């Protein structure tokens, strides 16, 4: 019992200190470890397995829309990066530079990619010639480097894993349609696979991607009431095409510039899963994304037949990701460890259970226990995982909705931001000066202008001028 208590007590309560709770969970669930390079992380097998499941499902969805995978170099020549002015200014503070090859100084500095727009543009300029070459629908899975000052595992690190899609189209309409299509793909993925509800919308010009005409985003609300940008999709128009001379001959054999998009999701999704679903016992993983969906824990496993039965049950649970914990730890420790790691379902099986022809199923999120006959285990496990996935999404939606507020005057807005963590919906005039003032006075930023617009008032929450859009505001990671 002492060991059992020690495992759980090692996690700070989320209500006491949410940031420390997050760090404790990440470490105790063995998702990452700190690297010798400050601000970088070692993603351990338990963490990487979650990323592999995210990657596999996203990749499948991408390919269903015609996307193909490619790979671009890690390095970007400085002259290439500087060809799009807004883009380079947006990333300059975060860029890491290579100045030497071996012992020799390089003739031109090389940027370690913070993102790959310039590389794709340079390639497209050589690869696209005719309207028959379009559209180009490419994606790459890779890591990028951004020299962040303040880091936190998964949420913000100097190197992180992601995918970045880059497409080229003949018309502005096609590019805009692809931009929205990928944003909706991300939103559906988060809700269907991660049980994480999101707000879909457009970023303000102040918050959009450097060099983009428009940036669209999905915003999720964490347990502590802070927002997390969970995926973005950018419409570049023909700005990059003009900077990089990406032209094609149309059907009339006239040269035109292509229209481009870019879209990405990162390992910060793992941080989102932790902060949306976790509790004081550790991770709570949505069944669809959990590397291990079922952990079988044998009780009194040294008694004859117990381990054999545990493995027999494992072999019978076809179609699920199942493990048997046959370590020499106590059953209580194994229960706590399975909870810490967020495994959706555990099955307890001991000599008395075998004699009765049954096992005990325990749900991770609710701790609900069911006694199930061996013959019904497969169906009951399937049902439990499906119900748990659905319930987790509904709970997360309920949490978001009860922490989403409306303000129609500035005093109410400021008080709500200060005292009630969450989203605040309020009208905005479209002036960046109001965004800057709100951030300066409250610490909140515009998260997005949602596709589902509401008319809350006629005037801007900040300056009182005529309102142009309803905005979700909030403090964010």
Which structural domains are found in the chain, ordered by start?
18-71+119-277 (3.30.930.10), 294-385 (3.40.50.800), 404-474 (3.30.110.30)
Cα three-residue angle 268-18-342, rounded to 5 degrees: 60
pLDDT band at residue 10, thresholds of 50, 70 and 90? confident
Query: Is the pLDDT score of 251 beyond 90?
Result: yes
Residue 109 near residue 139 (C-beta atoms within 8 A):
no
Kindly report the average pLDDT of the chain as a whole number: 95
- SS3 state at 207: coil
Position 431 confidence tier, pLDDT thresholds 50, 70, 90: very high
Q: For the chain, give the percent of residues with pLDDT over 90.
A: 94
Q: List pLDDT tens digits, range 182-197.
A: 999 999 999 999 999 9
- Which pLDDT does position 25 carry in this prediction? 97
Q: Evaluate if residue 44 carries a pLDDT over 90.
A: yes
Question: What integer pLDDT is reported at residue 302 of this predicted model?
Answer: 87
For residue 282, pLDDT beyond 50? yes
Q: Report the range of poorest mean pLDDT among 77-86, 165-174, 198-207, 394-403.
A: 77-86
- Identify whether the C-beta of residue 67 lies closer than 8 Å to the C-beta of residue 141: no
Question: Do the Cβ atoms of 327 and 307 come closer than 8 Å?
Answer: no
Positive or negative, the CA dihedral 308, 313, 314, 316 is: positive
Segment 113-128 shows an average pLDDT of 96
263-273 tens-digit pLDDT: 999 999 999 99
Gap between the Cα atoms of 134 and 174, Å rounded: 11
What is the structure's pLDDT at 91? 79
Reported as a pLDDT band with limits 50, 70 and 90, residue 1 is very low
- Residue 6: what pLDDT? 53
CA dist 316 and 381 (Å) reads 11
Question: What's the predicted TM-score (pTM) here?
Answer: 0.95
Residue 294 — φ and ψ, nearest 5°? -135, 130
pLDDT at 404: 98
The pLDDT of residue 354 is above 60: yes
pLDDT in tens, 357-404: 999 999 999 999 999 999 999 999 999 999 999 999 999 999 999 999
- Measured CA to CA, the distance from residue 312 to residue 317 in angstroms comes to 9
Q: Report pLDDT for 332.
A: 94
What tokens were used for 269?
Answer: 């999704």
Measure the CA–CA gap between 53 and 360, rounded to whole angstroms.
27
CA angle 271/37/290 to nearest 5° reads 25
């Amino acid at each position: 019992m002492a060991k059992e208590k020690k495992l759980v007590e090692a996690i700070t309560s989320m209500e006491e200190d949410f940031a420390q709770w997050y760090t404790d969970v990440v470490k105790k669930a063995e998702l990452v470890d700190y690297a010798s390079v400050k601000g970088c992380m070692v993603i351990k097998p338990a963490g990487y397995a979650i990323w592999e499941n995210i990657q596999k499902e996203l990749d499948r969805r991408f390919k269903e829309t015609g996307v193909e995978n490619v790979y671009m170099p890690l390095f970007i020549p400085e002259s290439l990066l500087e060809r799009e002015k807004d883009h380079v200014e947006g990333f300059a503070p975060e860029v890491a530079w290579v100045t030497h090859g071996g012992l020799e100084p390089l003739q031109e500095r090389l940027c370690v990619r913070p993102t790959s727009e310039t590389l794709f543009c340079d390639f497209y300029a050589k690869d696209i010639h005719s309207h028959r070459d379009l559209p180009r629908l490419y994606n790459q899975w890779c890591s990028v480097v951004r020299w962040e000052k303040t880091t936190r595992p998964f949420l913000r690190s100097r190197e992180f894993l992601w995918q970045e899609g880059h497409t080229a189209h003949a018309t502005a309409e096609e590019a805009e349609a692809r931009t929205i299509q990928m944003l909706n793909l991300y939103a559906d993925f988060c809700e269907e696979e991660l049980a994480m509800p999101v707000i879909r919308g457009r970023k303000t010009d102040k918050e959009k991607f450097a060099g983009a005409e428009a940036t669209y985003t999905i915003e999720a609300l964490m347990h502590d009431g802070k927002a997390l940008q969970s995926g973005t999709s950018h419409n570049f128009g023909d700005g990059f095409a003009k900077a990089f001379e990406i032209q094609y001959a149309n059907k009339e054999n006239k040269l035109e510039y292509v229209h481009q998009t870019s879209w990405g999701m990162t390992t910060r999704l793992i941080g989102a899963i932790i902060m949306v679903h976790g509790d004081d016992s550790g991770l709570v993983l949505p069944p669809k994304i959990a590397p291990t969906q079922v952990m079988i824990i044998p009780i009194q496993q040294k008694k004859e037949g117990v381990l054999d039965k545990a493995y027999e049950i494992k072999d019978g649970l076809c179609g699920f990701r199942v493990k048997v914990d046959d370590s020499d730890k106590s059953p209580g420790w194994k229960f706590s460890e399975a909870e810490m790691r967020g495994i959706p379902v555990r099955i307890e099986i001991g000599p008395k259970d075998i004699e009765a022809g049954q096992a005990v199923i325990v749900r991770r999120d609710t701790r609900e226990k069911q006694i199930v006959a061996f013959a019904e285990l497969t169906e009951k496990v399937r049902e439990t995982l499906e119900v748990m996935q659905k319930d987790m999404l509904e709970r997360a939606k309920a949490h978001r909705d009860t922490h989403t507020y409306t303000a129609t005057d500035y005093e109410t807005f400021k008080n709500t931001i200060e005292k009630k963590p969450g989203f605040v919906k309020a009208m905005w005039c479209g002036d960046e000066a109001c965004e800057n003032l709100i951030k300066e006075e409250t610490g909140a930023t515009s998260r997005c202008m949602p596709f589902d617009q509401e008319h809350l008032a006629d005037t801007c929450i900040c300056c009182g001028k005529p309102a142009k859009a309803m905005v979700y505001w909030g403090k964010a990671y």
